[in-house]
Structure 1
Amino acid sequence: MISAEQNDLITRVGPGTPAGQLLRRYWQPVAISDELAGPRPVKPVKLMGQHFVLFRDENGQLGLLDRDCPHRGADLAFGRLEGGGLRCPFHGWLFDAKGNCLETPAEPVGSKLCTRIKQAAYPVVEKSGTIFAYIGEGEPPAFPEFDCFVAPDTHTFAFKGLFECNWLQALEVGIDPAHASYLHRFFEDEDTSESYGKQFRGASADSDLPITKVLREFDLPEINVDSTDYGLRLTTLRKVSDTDTHVRVTNVVFPQAFVIPMSTEMTISQWHVPVDDTHCYWYAIFTSFTGPVDKQQMRDQRLELYELPNYTSRKNKRNDYGYDVNEQLTKTYTGMGEDINVHDQWAVESQGPIQDRTREHLGTTDKGIIAYRRMLVKAIESTQAGEGAPMVIGQEQASAMSGPPSIDGVNEKASEGVGPQAYWLQADRERRLKSTWAAARLGA
């Protein structure tokens, strides 16, 4: 249990707040590339309570500017892409992707006003179908050479979704391995060969054991948490027989991402990005170690639930998340359909816009959340003192990072003394050796 002041410290992220200053030291996803497709690649963006406009100019260069025009404050999200930049429709002032003022057309001939105008602009990069921005001070950190960033574009797929709650409670559901045995419980197992693109529906590696069966029948996991150079590694063990142990390895990448297994062939790297204090987007990059991702199938599956242009869920608090009492009695533990994103959304949104952690009582299975909160508070305090923070890294350190390994499998040699770490290290290596792009990295 924490105090109200501590809860504010770790949840509030607007300009000038301690947690906001910390998160501004990192690259943040602000859009997926699909959002800039079409005839007018311009999009308003709200990030940590600040308003921006994201665009791709006529030459394909990305730009992120403050949304209010520096002339009279009009909304640049309605600007026109022309003349090598974004033009304000109010008086025609034109800005390029770096924030330089190119034209102030109504000013007298010879006016020097344009040379004195500079719109705030922010670094933007595009990786694996996701657009990241840096809105902090100084130089941004380097991107770690994790799988989701180094796999070829053909082997990644990006998507997003809106949660109507604070970013921290949304993130913390991914640091909680125990909840899946209840929140994501299915009463019947389906054909695992039909599970492509669906989380918690396939078979665990090195077995034909459906993960739905593992979660449903073995709901007393042993959870171990280890500190790493990127954040935390969580190893969750479920003894499924006298000889076999189910091993699931998930990761927290500081400050607000996790990397988890989706299936034997894919992992999910997911960020929870504050829109403001009471809304956040999850951004996910799905990475395949086998063949190219069927992006159309993955997109179509997710668009059954999410509505464009804002990626809002069709099942939400206004329609009780699609709750059906008969389904809850016969098919799923929640009665809220088969998409686990809906389950997660209900869980975190039902805690309120900002969870009141003064009323919670943490248990043994919350050890990952406890470890992360300690790391978060320490990083906030370090930032306030002008010191370093985890994952604020240079290129040399970023180039030395890989993975992180994320495994869901059955260790059939547990009774022979093969420990969980030896198992997942070998399972990760074998998966990489079978992958064209990942095997090449092993030899680097």
Structure 2
Amino acid sequence: MTPVEQNAVLTQTGPGTPLGNVFRRYWIPALLSGELGKTPVRSKILSEDMWATRDESGKVMFRTRQVPNIELGAVYQESWVPVLLSEDLPDIDCAPVRVQIGEEKLIAFRDTSGRIGLIDQFCAHRRVSLFFGRNEENGIRCPYHGWKFDVNGKCMEVPSEGENSKTCERVQLKYYRTVETGGVIFAFIGAETELPALHFTPELVPAAVNEYPAIEVGDVVWVYMGPADKMPKAPEFEWATVPAAHRYINYRVQRSNWLQAMEGGIDSSHVSSLHSGELHKDPLHHGKGASNQADKAPKFEVAPSPAGLLIGAKRKTAEGNAYWRISQYIFPSSTMIPPYGEHPLHGHNWVPVDDSTCLAWNFSHTPHRPLSDEEIHTMDNYGSIYAELIPGTHDTVQNESNDWLIDREKQKSGRYYSGIKGIAMQDASLQESMAGENGIVDRTKERLVTTDIAIVQARRKLMATAQALAAGDESALAGLDPVSHHIRPASFEAAYDTTLEVAADKIIAGATAPESI
């Protein structure tokens, strides 16, 4: 059982929180390099809403999205509403943006002349959302039948009615007047008699806008959100330093707090149950090791390491030997999964978005050879640790709204032990289901057992580190030195009386093939 106060420390990572301060001392994976072009990309990490931008030199920077505090005075407080940052509409004729004021759904756009329009989101013809509209030639055009509206909601064209039609004279969408000042777009929502002037400039009290540096390593954009004088060296995880043809990377959104996700990554005992239907079916989990999972009561040994924790799970084989599965916990939120056979090594980084959501980064690599076509095909088709995503998003097709597509017949047959298809979603579905208030597990109601020793040790290490850093002691920050990243997970057989020390020479990263069965 974890007390309420400790659970709050372990799960809250926003600005100024003890564990948030710990996370901010590390490079955090935020985006895939391929996602960031000339257009800014929105990102949310550690409860900070940001834009990522790449300048002409290729340099990447993250900047928080904070609307300035506004001192309008009594006359204007109920009339002028900040609706967007100027950077939300970065260019003339750029993509329109949805806005909601109260219950009103609106669309904002910057026209060819640079004017800001804020009009009814839905076309006057058949009520199609103008989110799909073509922003062109000083108006936004509905793609359904081509009706076009200007920044004042006036209908400009109805192509199907011909040039002599008077339809446009009778059509007017609701609109709000706007002003743009101080990097903020305001909408005037008061009655016209209250404020007839269109050139009102409110007095702004600029908010602190944080800018965070970024680097690109291993086809990933990493952001550093801590003190500038404490910035660590770039990460050197093996997956990030091998040639591009040797690695496979993506990420998905998980609707749970980061901690319950990360704890699943260091819990080797659940594999014998939850993933039992996949061990002989998934193409990247074949191997002798899959047969050694029959022992459902592994003996755990956990030891501190320069990176975080070294976690060993020992199972007894049919021949009476020890089948060791060695996981790595790299501080503060990265995990490495013991491999099977000749297949790629896998790992995760569980990045807090806010206290109820995280990004599950997934990494696969082969240090000594390029990934094979079969391996890439399997991962492209949602095998191994990968899940099917809704096109254009990082959200999973299987989710709470559809009960993660549970299949009770295949649950009964044992094909999917929990009824959920795929290793990734077998984990994610259960971790999302654990969510209590605000997506966080109520750990006061847990009943941990001996096989949860790695979870207990990880929580203790996180608590101790947060407390030490708050007291000014930085020595507890494991995994800051990139040399500590030169490690691997492993799986192997040894005499049953061996201890975790037997793994010492099998977990060092390098050009050789991994230790795996």
Fold match (TM-score > 0.5): yes
State the match for 2:216 in structure 1.
Answer: 126
Q: Percent identity?
A: 26
Change (3 A) 1:22 1:77: farther
State the match for 1:171 in structure 2.
Answer: 262
CA distance in structure 1 between the aligned counterparts of 2:7 and 2:498, rounded to whole angstroms: 42
CA distance in structure 2 between the aligned counterparts of 1:62 and 1:323, rounded to whole angstroms: 41
Change (3 A) 1:75 1:308: farther
Whether the aligned pair in 2 keeps the contact of 1:225 and 1:232 (CA below 8 Å) is yes
Question: When the two structures are superposed, what TM-score results if normalisation uses the length of structure 2?
Answer: 0.67
Shift of 1:250: 0.4
Classify the secondary structure of the residue corresponding to 1:327. Answer: helix
Classify the secondary structure of the residue corresponding to 2:29. Answer: strand
Whether the aligned pair in 1 keeps the contact of 2:468 and 2:476 (CA below 8 Å) is no
Q: Which runs of 5+ in 1 are unaligned?
A: 82-87, 93-102, 105-115, 204-208, 439-444
Classify the secondary structure of the residue corresponding to 1:344. Answer: helix
Letter in 2 for 1:60: G
Shift of 1:188: 7.9
Change (3 A) 1:389 1:343: farther
Shift of 1:70: 6.7
CA distance in structure 2 between the aligned counterparts of 1:256 and 1:202, rounded to whole angstroms: 27
State the match for 1:314 in structure 2.
Answer: 397
State the match for 1:409 in structure 2.
Answer: 492
Shift of 1:80: 4.3
| Residue 347 of structure 1, aligned match among 421, 427, 430 | 430
State the match for 1:218 in structure 2.
Answer: 295
Letter in 2 for 1:220: A
State the match for 1:370 in structure 2.
Answer: 456
Shift of 1:187: 7.7
Q: Superposition pairs for residues 18-29 of structure 1, below 5 Å?
A: 18-29=18-29
CA distance in structure 1 between the aligned counterparts of 2:60 and 2:90, rounded to whole angstroms: 15
Whether the aligned pair in 2 keeps the contact of 1:49 and 1:277 (CA below 8 Å) is yes
Q: Which moved more, 1:27-36 or 1:367-376?
A: 27-36
Q: Which moved more, 1:295-304 or 1:127-136?
A: 295-304
Q: Superposition pairs for residues 129-168 of structure 1, below 5 Å?
A: 129-138=219-228, 139-168=230-259
Letter in 1 for 2:85: A
Change (3 A) 1:426 1:161: same
Shift of 1:405: 2.7
| Alignment deviations for residues 338-387 of structure 1 (CA, whole Å, 9 cap, x no partner) | x1111111111111110000111110001001111111111111121122
Classify the secondary structure of the residue corresponding to 1:154. Answer: helix
State the match for 1:206 in structure 2.
Answer: none
Whether the aligned pair in 1 keeps the contact of 2:301 and 2:500 (CA below 8 Å) is no
| Residue 304 of structure 2, aligned match among 227, 233, 236 | 227
RMSD of equivalent CA atoms: 3.2
| Residue 270 of structure 1, aligned match among 329, 337, 348 | 348
Question: When the two structures are superposed, what TM-score results if normalisation uses the length of structure 1?
Answer: 0.78
Shift of 1:41: 4.2
Classify the secondary structure of the residue corresponding to 1:145. Answer: coil
CA distance in structure 1 between the aligned counterparts of 2:4 and 2:512, rounded to whole angstroms: 50
Change (3 A) 1:75 1:136: farther
User: Is the counterpart of residue 245 in structure 1 residue 322 in structure 2?
Assistant: yes
Classify the secondary structure of the residue corresponding to 2:85. Answer: coil
State the match for 2:85 in structure 1.
Answer: 74
Shift of 1:161: 1.0
Change (3 A) 1:159 1:401: same
Letter in 2 for 1:14: G
Letter in 2 for 1:309: G
Specify which structure has the bigger relative contact order, considering alpha-carbon pairs within 8 angstroms and separated by 6 or more residues.
1
CA distance in structure 1 between the aligned counterparts of 2:208 and 2:278, rounded to whole angstroms: 59
CA distance in structure 2 between the aligned counterparts of 1:63 and 1:152, rounded to whole angstroms: 25
Q: Superposition pairs for residues 189-228 of structure 1, below 5 Å?
A: 189-190=280-281, 195=283, 198=284, 201-203=285-287, 209=288, 211=290, 213-215=291-293, 217-228=294-305
Letter in 1 for 2:318: S
CA distance in structure 2 between the aligned counterparts of 1:299 and 1:256, rounded to whole angstroms: 23
Whether the aligned pair in 1 keeps the contact of 2:303 and 2:309 (CA below 8 Å) is yes
Shift of 1:189: 2.8
Whether the aligned pair in 1 keeps the contact of 2:312 and 2:327 (CA below 8 Å) is yes
Whether the aligned pair in 2 keeps the contact of 1:271 and 1:284 (CA below 8 Å) is yes
Shift of 1:13: 1.3
Change (3 A) 1:26 1:292: same
Change (3 A) 1:237 1:117: closer
Higher helix share: 1
| Residue 366 of structure 2, aligned match among 263, 268, 288 | 288
State the match for 2:419 in structure 1.
Answer: 335
